[in-house]
């Protein structure tokens, strides 16, 4: 089985707490702290590992939070290749207001990568990727990263015969000009590319087909919250509805969706079946508290319901 290799040049240590209430200018007593490794690609790799597919997380790490990030990834048994950086890895802080159910998410910017560090990251892709692998660029880029950094990563991955998947709003224009195998956008992201908000499902389906026809991506995937998700290729458009669940947190749901989708595709499932598996993984993560990802039993239960 091919690997799903994830790229996270700007990972985070996710720290989640609960507060009985959140009000301005008050000392807030927090409880039930939880810590997990985070950042788009790291989460995708964690989710893929839980689903039983082969994966590798390539990510940067530096400083105290970077050390904790490495230990957290290792504790979950996720295969990894860490690129050391001189700066400090970032912290992402999440607070659940128990009084209202609202969730507050604070993401720090992360460390600037030197040119040498950025080059080492790209070299790791060239050394690890093999024909047929999925190489997933996910999440934010570090501050001051070149606007074409994802395009550079795509070029390296394609040179190895790998399929480059872009799940990021950063460096989008240059990456699409380079050409990617798959582009994933959610309901909040695609309007920047489309120029306006589109009606689900007909207008979005037309937009996704156009993106493929224009050569921006071989596969265009749009996840649309509670409405479901679709995947357009040159041959057809597959659709999967969302699962009815009691949501607790949205953290990591999009990354879980990508992990489930690619886990299906790497096993040569149909696009529709793989989309449904992605929706099951996203739904199961939304059932989890704080920054925790899904339990695999929940994914399977939803998928087979």
The residues annotated as belonging to the active site are: 255
Cα-to-chain-centroid distance, residue 214: 24
Residues sharing a CB contact under 8 Å with residue 304, sequence separation 6 or more, in sequence order = none
SS3 of 33-96: the string is EEEEEECHHHHHHHHHHHHCCCEEEEEEECHHHHHHHHHHHHHCCCCEEEEECCCCCEEEEEEE
Q: Which among 283, 216, 292 is positioned nearest to 43, based on CA atoms? A: 292
| CA triple 274-276-281, angle to 5 deg | 95
């Amino acid at each position: 089985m091919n690997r799903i290799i994830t790229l996270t040049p700007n990972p985070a240590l996710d720290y989640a707490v609960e507060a009985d209430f959140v009000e301005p200018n008050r000392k807030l007593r927090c409880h039930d702290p939880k810590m997990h490794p985070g950042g788009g690609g790291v989460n995708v790799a964690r989710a893929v590992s839980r689903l039983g597919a082969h994966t590798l997380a390539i990510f940067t790490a530096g400083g105290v939070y970077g050390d904790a990030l490495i230990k957290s990834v290792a504790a979950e048994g996720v295969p990894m290749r860490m690129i050391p950086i001189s700066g400090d890895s970032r912290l992402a802080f999440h607070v659940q207001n128990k009084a209202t159910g609202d969730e507050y998410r604070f993401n720090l910017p992360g460390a600037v990568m030197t040119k040498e560090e950025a080059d080492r990251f790209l070299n790791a892709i060239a050394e690890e990727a093999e024909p047929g692998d999925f190489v997933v660029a996910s999440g934010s880029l570090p501050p001051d990263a070149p606007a074409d950094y994802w395009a550079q990563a795509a070029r390296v991955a394609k040179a190895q015969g790998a399929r480059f998947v872009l799940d990021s709003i950063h460096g989008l224009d240059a990456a699409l000009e380079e050409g990617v195998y798959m582009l994933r956008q959610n309901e909040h992201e695609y309007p920047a590319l489309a120029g306006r908000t589109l009606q689900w499902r007909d207008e979005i389906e037309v937009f996704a087909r156009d993106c493929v026809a224009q050569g921006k991506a071989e596969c265009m995937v749009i996840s649309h919250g509670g409405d479901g998700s679709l995947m357009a290729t040159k041959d057809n458009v597959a659709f999967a509805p969302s699962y009815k669940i009691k949501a607790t947190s949205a953290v990591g749901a999009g990354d879980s969706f990508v992990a489930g989708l690619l886990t299906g595709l790497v096993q040569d499932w149909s696009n529709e079946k793989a989309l449904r598996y992605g929706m099951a993984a996203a739904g199961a993560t939304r059932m989890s508290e704080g920054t925790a990802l899904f339990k695999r039993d929940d994914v399977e239960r939803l998928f087979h319901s």
